Structure 1
Amino acid sequence: MDAPPAVSHIDDTEPDQVLAWRNTALNERPGFLIRRLHQIHVALFMEECAAEGITPVQYSILTALEQLGPSEQVVLSRAVGLDRANTADVISRLAQRRFVQSRVSRTDRRKKVAELTGVGQALLTRLESPVARAHERTIAALPSDERATFLRQLLLLVETNNEVSRTPIVR
């Protein structure tokens, strides 16, 4: 008996669209450009924040804690779109540097709660200008009157496709 044919994720795509993407140069395809922009932003972030030795993911966790207050690790992972194992690892590294403290939940001993410390809050204050510079440098090539539109379009793409992510953001 023959195996069933492989199912293509582009079966519903018009043949002309498939050919159009196939004939598009790699460096002009959306996925490639989004990945490259992410790499560029991370490099700018790391350059601007080098003095503090903090990564963009660590910064996201710290910012989420600042905005949400003490939070269970699963809530943090959903807030920043990071899987639970990586969230736990990031929190552990941040706790070693005394930027956060982690404790067992008072209501459910199986859960851990992370909380921003005074040292972590001071770090976020020091990072305000460097992070702002990294964000500004990332979009600096855009005319100032197009930046808000670009950010709205990015938000639309992320929100529209959130559920297909391995780690959807839950608000």
Structure 2
Amino acid sequence: MSGDATTQQAAVDALAGFDLHDAPGHLLRRCQQLAVDLYTNEVGADGLTPRQFALLLAIYQQAGISQVELVRSTGIDRSTVAEMVARLIKRGLLVRERTETDRRTNALVLTSEGEGQLRQAMPGVMRAQDRIMAPIPPAKRAEFIALLRQIIDTLEPRG
């Protein structure tokens, strides 16, 4: 068999033996889909999206955070954060303020409406988190979270 034929046969063998239902990437994607569905069911289709909730929560917990810090804190890419922040400002949920220390940097702060939306979403978010963790035995939940964090901490690009 030539090199090309051997490579092609190896690919065919790998395809035949690959079990999608045991592939970590596929399983994580499916879990993420289910988590978003649970979130939407609990918070409501008209409520904050999971990413909006993440941004608003990060800003609530770190008032005055910059967009660069928001990207690091949430893991949402820079261009998406910029678009989301612009839309949330337009909706009156956030304001940008110039920082005292660096006039080129904008600090993000929740408006009272933004904080209200966050508070309104919180009970649904907590119910969704409980439903996500329900299949995991209570004694294994901390380990499960630690393993998810390990994947992120190991694979996430450092910038």
Q: TM-score, normalised by structure 2?
A: 0.81
**1:21 Cα deviation (Å)?**
9.1
The count of aligned residue pairs is 147
> In the aligned structure 1, how far is the partner of 2:46 from the partner of 2:92?
13
SS in 2 for 1:71: coil
1:25 pairs with 2:19: yes
- Cα distance in 2 for partners of 1:151, 1:28 equals 19
The two structures, once aligned, show a CA RMSD in angstroms of: 2.2
Q: 1:78 pairs with 56, 72, 75, which one? A: 72
Does residue 1:129 correspond to 2:123, yes or no? Answer: yes
Match of residue 6 from structure 1: none
Alignment of 1:4-19 (within 5 A): none
In the other structure, the counterpart of 2:41 is: 47
Deviations 1:72-127 (A, max 9, x none): 11111111112221111111121122211123444444433211112222222222
SS of structure 1 residue aligned to 2:156: helix
Instruction: Pick the aligned partner of 1:60 from 44, 54, 57.
Output: 54
The partner residue of 1:145 within 139, 147, 150 is: 139
Q: Which runs of 4 or more aligned residues in structure 1 lie more than 6 Å from their structure 2 counterparts after TM superposition? A: 19-22
On the 8 A contact 2:48/2:121 being kept in 1, the answer is no
Structure 1: 5+ residue runs without aligned partners? Answer: 1-18
Does the alignment pair 1:160 with 2:154?
yes
**Deviation of residue 49 (structure 1)?**
1.2
- Contact 2:95 2:111 (8 Å CA) reproduced: yes
Please state which structure has a larger fraction of its residues in helix.
2
2: CA distance, partners of 1:91 / 1:152: 30
Query: Could you tell which deviates more after superposition, 98-107 or 115-124?
Result: 98-107
The percentage of counterpart residues that share the same residue type is: 33
Instruction: Report the residue type matching 1:115 in the other structure.
Output: V
Contact 1:95 1:101 in 2 (8 A): yes
2:29 counterpart letter in structure 1: R
Structure 2 spans left out of the alignment, 5+ residues: 1-12
Contact 1:21 1:29 in 2 (8 A): no
2:110 matched residue in structure 1 = 116
